[in-house]
């Protein structure tokens, strides 16, 4: 009897200890941030749906936006925008090249990588590498062709480049699109792919965002499965985290601080979890800070799908539905 009591106590205690990791949204962590008025585009241009945001080594902010609306199809508005940390416009490029701008990432040399998540008129379903000045350096996929072969994508959501130059693509955006990670060498040669649609380890349902930590682990925002999955660079499954909500955007800074944008949780899709940006550490998985979404209805809070942070800890949010880019700074 005493042995059973001790065993029961141990189970309860272990569950209590694990609680911060498993139920990260039960009580919201503090929000030490405030919004900073930011990012005016020139010549009266308005933001479209902004799918992604990243910050380069100089602290400048790169945004991939949908040409002032919900799509770039049929217009010649440049989709890639660079601003400085104060929101001053610096440059733009990528006019007439995309259908639905989606993912964006920077490599160690400052090159800009983007994904076009739909196809039309011989464009889209591609990953494109630009120099910082807007020169096309590489295109992966066949423009306008949806597929699941070694050289095609079907609605690629994001791209991330490892320190050694290997390229990782989150290929798929729900429905009958793909649900996999595709790995290429730095010169664009196919290496391998892993994953399929499902809920098990190494399976995906909308692999929406990618980021690497300092150990080289690949973090995948497995959005419709309400989890982050973590892999090594050969595709070996390591673990999953559900305490960061229903992740759309994911960013890891040089100090291994993890920023996750949840713009899709609802009472039905992810009960008890609020929309917002959760901030923690890849070292322990504990959610320490929370920037809530904008609005009054938790099921329709406006939150960006893209998130990034600069070296000073300022947070940038690419707001898709709200068609904006927002900057959050720490309260003094």
For all residues of the chain together, what is the average pLDDT?
91
Cβ(251)–Cβ(221) below 8 Å: no
Cα–Cα distance measured from residue 41 to residue 37, given in angstroms and rounded to the nearest whole number: 13
Task: Categorize the per-residue pLDDT at 123 as very low, low, confident or very high, splitting at 50, 70 and 90.
Answer: very high
Res 153: pLDDT: 98
Whether residue 61 contacts residue 52, with contact meaning beta carbons closer than 8 Å, is answered with no
Mean pLDDT of 300-320: 93
So what's the pLDDT on residue 154? 98
State residue 216 phi and psi, 5-degree precision: 90, 10
Instruction: Give pLDDT, residue 245.
Output: 97
What string of H, E and C letters represents the secondary structure of 31-73?
Answer: CCEEEECCCCCHHHCCCCCEEEEEECCCCCEEEEECCCCCCCC
The whole-number pLDDT of residue 145 equals 98
Which range has the worst mean pLDDT, 1-5, 224-228, 279-283? 1-5
Q: How far apart are CA 278 and CA 13, in angstroms?
A: 26
Confidence of residue 7 (pLDDT cuts 50, 70, 90): very low
Tens-place pLDDT, residues 168-216: 999 999 999 999 999 999 999 999 999 999 999 999 999 999 999 999 9
Question: 36-330: which CATH topology?
Answer: Neuraminidase (2.120.10)
Tell me the pLDDT band of 66, cut-offs 50, 70 and 90: very high
**Is the predicted pLDDT of residue 22 greater than 50, yes or no?**
no
Q: Closest Cα partner for 235 from 206, 201, 205?
A: 201
* pLDDT tens, position by position, 82-104: 999 999 999 999 999 999 999 99
List the domain boundaries for the chain. Answer: 36-330
What is the tens place of the pLDDT at every residue in 23-63? Answer: 344 578 999 999 998 877 888 899 999 989 999 999 999 99
Distances in Å between the Cα of 259 and the Cα atoms of 4, 124, 199 are: 42, 28, 23
Q: Looking up tokens 């405030």, which residue turns up?
A: 34
**Percent of the chain whose predicted confidence (pLDDT) is above 90:** 84
pLDDT at 118: 97
């Amino acid at each position: 009897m005493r042995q059973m009591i001790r065993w029961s106590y141990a189970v309860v205690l272990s569950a209590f200890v694990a609680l911060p990791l498993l139920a990260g949204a039960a009580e919201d962590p503090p929000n030490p941030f405030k919004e900073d008025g930011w990012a005016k585009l020139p010549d009266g241009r308005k933001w479209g749906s902004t799918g992604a945001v990243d910050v380069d080594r100089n602290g400048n902010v790169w945004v991939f936006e949908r040409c002032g609306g919900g799509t770039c199809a049929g217009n010649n508005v440049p989709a890639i925008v660079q601003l400085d940390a104060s929101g001053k416009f610096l440059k733009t490029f990528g006019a007439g090249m995309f259908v639905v701008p989606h993912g964006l990432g920077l490599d160690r040399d400052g090159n800009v990588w983007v994904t076009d998540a739909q196809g039309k008129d011989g464009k889209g379903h591609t990953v494109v590498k630009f120099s910082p000045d807007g020169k096309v350096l590489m295109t992966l996929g066949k423009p306008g062709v949806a597929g699941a072969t070694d050289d095609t994508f079907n609605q690629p959501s994001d791209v991330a480049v490892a320190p050694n130059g290997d390229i990782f693509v989150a290929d798929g955006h729900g429905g009958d699109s793909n649900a996999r990670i595709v790995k290429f060498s730095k010169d664009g040669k196919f290496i391998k792919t892993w994953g399929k649609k499902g809920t098990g380890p190494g399976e995906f349902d909308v692999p929406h965002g990618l980021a690497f930590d300092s150990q080289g682990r690949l973090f995948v925002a497995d959005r419709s499965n309400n989890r982050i999955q973590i892999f090594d660079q050969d595709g070996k499954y390591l673990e999953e985290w559900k305490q960061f909500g229903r992740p759309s955007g994911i960013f890891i800074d040089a100090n291994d601080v993890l920023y996750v944008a949840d713009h899709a949780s609802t009472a039905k899709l992810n009960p008890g979890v609020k929309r917002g940006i959760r901030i923690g550490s890849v070292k322990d998985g504990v959610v320490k800070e929370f920037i809530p979404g904008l609005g009054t209805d938790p099921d329709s809070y406006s939150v960006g799908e893209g998130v990034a942070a600069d070296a000073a800890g300022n947070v940038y949010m690419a707001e898709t539905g709200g068609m904006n880019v927002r900057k959050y700074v720490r309260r003094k």
